[in-house]
Amino acid sequence: MTPPAALRKPSYDAMAANARAPERAASAKRDLLGMRDLGADLPRVLAFAKHLKGEFKAGRPLPLLAGKSAIMIFEKASTRTRVSFEVGLNKLGASATFLSARDIQMGRGESIEDTALVLSRYADLLIYRAYRNEDMAELSRRATIPVINALDDLEHPCQILADLQTVEEHKGRLAGLRFLYIGDGNNMCHSYLLGCAMAGMHVTICAPEAYAPDAGMVAAAARLALENGGSLTMTSDPDQAFKDQDVVATDTWVSMGDEAEKEERVQAFQGYTVTEERMQEAAPGAIFLHCLPAYYGYEVTKEVAHGPRSVIFDEAENRMWAQMAAMVWLLAPQQLP
Helix (H) or strand (E) holding 126: strand 125-129
C-alpha–C-alpha distance, residues 256 and 60, integer Å: 38
C-beta atoms surrounding 240 within 10 Å: 12
Question: Residue 220, exposed/middle/buried by CB under 10 A (0-12, 13-18, 19+)?
Answer: buried
Q: Is 223 a catalytic residue?
A: no
Of all residues in the chain, the percent with pLDDT exceeding 70 is: 91
The residue from 141, 265, 319, 323 that is catalytic is 319
pLDDT at residue 9 in the model: 53
CA gap 34, 21 in Å, rounded: 15
Does residue 20 have a pLDDT over 50? no
Confidence of residue 25 (pLDDT cuts 50, 70, 90): very low
| DSSP secondary structure, 15-42, as one string | HHHHHT-HHHHT-----BSSGGGTGGGH
CATH code of the region 5-155+319-335: 3.40.50.1370
The kind and range of the H/E element at 287 are: strand 287-290
80 carries an active-site annotation: no
Known catalytic residue at 240 = no
Q: What is the pLDDT of residues 47-86, one digit of tens each?
A: 999 999 999 999 999 999 999 999 999 999 999 999 999 9
Name the CA dihedral angle for 89, 94, 95, 101, rounded to a multiple of 10 degrees.
-50
How do residues 158-206 score in pLDDT, each as one tens digit? 999 999 999 999 999 999 999 999 999 999 999 999 999 999 999 999 9
- Our answer to whether residue 170 is catalytic in this structure is no
Q: Is the peptide bond before 293 cis (omega within 30 degrees of 0)?
A: yes
Q: Choose the catalytic residue: 163, 245, 251, 290.
A: 251
CATH of segment(s) 159-316: 3.40.50.1370
Q: Which residues are bridge partners to 287 per DSSP?
A: 247
pLDDT tier, 15 (very low <50, low <70, confident <90, very high otherwise): low
The rounded distance, in Å, linking the Cα atoms of 265 and 183 is 10
| Torsion, Cα of 150, 75, 254, 188 (10° steps) | -10
List the single range of 4-13, 33-42, 285-294 with lowest mean pLDDT: 4-13
Q: Is 291 a catalytic residue?
A: yes
Confidence of residue 255 (pLDDT cuts 50, 70, 90): confident
| Candidates 141, 142, 153, 159; catalytic one | 159
276 has pLDDT over 60:
yes
pLDDT at 5: 42
pLDDT value at 13 more than 60: no
Parts of the chain belonging to CATH 3.40.50.1370: 5-155+319-335, 159-316
- One of 24, 80, 156, 178 is an active-site residue; which one? 156
Catalytic residue among 36, 80, 82, 129: 129
Catalytic, 334? Answer no
